[in-house]
């Protein structure tokens, strides 16, 4: 994240972005006529408009799930876990920027 833009992202703005992404995610999984699993939800695939409203982009790895098919029955987990995305938004740091004793750990480590 550009350090000059960090001031724009106060806690309320960050929370609004996280909520917007969660609403979009919920829409894809439950409310949309065609169920979609994005499979590559990460910070670089979240676009912000002029009002800082998030828009989910890059559906290259997305999968459409048939109406009778269960969302848990996907063949492979791909991409970033939603919790890691939230931690990146909160901290303004990439998952890969965390290390301990010269070991690259990431947030989950």
The share of the chain scoring above pLDDT 70, in percent, equals 67
Q: Give the fold, CATH level 3, of 3-80.
A: Transferase(Phosphotransferase); domain 1 (1.10.510)
Active site members: 40
pLDDT over 60 (residue 83): yes
Q: Which of 24, 16, 39, 4 is nearest to 90 (CA)?
A: 16
pTM of the model: 0.74
For residue 78, what pLDDT is reported? Answer: 67
For residue 40, what pLDDT is reported? Answer: 84
Name the phi and psi angles at 20, rounded to 5: -65, -40
> If you search the block for the tokens 């409310």, which residue do you land on?
31
pLDDT digits (tens, 9 = 90+) for 23-74: 998 998 888 888 888 888 888 999 999 999 999 999 888 888 776 565 555 5
- Return mean pLDDT, the chain: 79
């Amino acid at each position: 994240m550009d350090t000059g833009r960090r001031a724009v992202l106060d806690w309320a703005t960050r929370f609004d972005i996280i909520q917007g992404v969660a609403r979009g995610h919920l829409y894809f999984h439950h409310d949309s006529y065609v169920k979609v699993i994005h499979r590559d939800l990460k910070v670089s695939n979240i676009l912000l408009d002029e009002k800082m409203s998030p828009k989910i982009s890059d559906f290259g790895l997305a999968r459409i799930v048939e109406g009778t098919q269960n969302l848990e029955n996907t063949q492979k987990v791909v991409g970033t876990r939603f919790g890691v995305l939230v931690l990146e938004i909160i901290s303004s740091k990439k998952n890969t920027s965390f290390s301990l004793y010269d070991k690259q750990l990431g947030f989950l480590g």
